[in-house]
Amino acid sequence: MHPPDFTEEQKRTADEAWATRNAIFEALPKAAALIKLYGKVPTFHDGEVQTVHLTLNGSSRLTTRIGFPDIFGPGHVFVTFDFIPIDVNLEGFSPQNVIFELWLRPAVAQPDHPAKGIGIEPGDIEIELEPIFGIGGSIIARNISVSWSKDHRARAK
């Protein structure tokens, strides 16, 4: 569903962004079980970033809490992305970190913000946190995998 004032070009761009996000998510290791739980690639709309743990060597982690069985549900699922960080551009972490959406797209070097560290390689993914309140920005990562767990209200469903 698009806003009523979207042009055809805006609708096409939005649809392509969703299709890209979903295709990347579906290809992530361990994502299939989460997709099966929701019956589709879950939305992260109104989800809340719980933790961001970054390391220089080894795997880093981003954990979000999303509603279950949908954004209005009484339960929550904690979705964790483990990854090797390549470039991190985050700001605004606060006591509450609600996101409009979590986007996934192929990472592309940008001349005005070149990747730091070892640089972008084919297959690297950009994780964008589109903020409502609190944290927002992007992480360019590789070797992303997904894990998840339900809270007690979601387990009751």
For 57-85, write each residue's pLDDT tens digit: 889 999 999 999 998 999 999 999 999 99
Residue written as token pair 């549900």: 73
DSSP state of 110: B
Average pLDDT, the chain: 92
Please check the confidence at residue 112 and state whether its pLDDT lies above 80: no
> 130: closest CA among 90, 102, 108, 104?
102
**Could you tell me where the DSSP H helices lie in the chain?**
8-27, 31-38, 152-155
> 30: closest CA among 65, 68, 81, 78?
81
Three-state SS for 70?
coil
> Do the Cβ atoms of 97 and 48 come closer than 8 Å?
yes
pLDDT at residue 116 in the model? 54
> Do the Cβ atoms of 137 and 99 come closer than 8 Å?
no
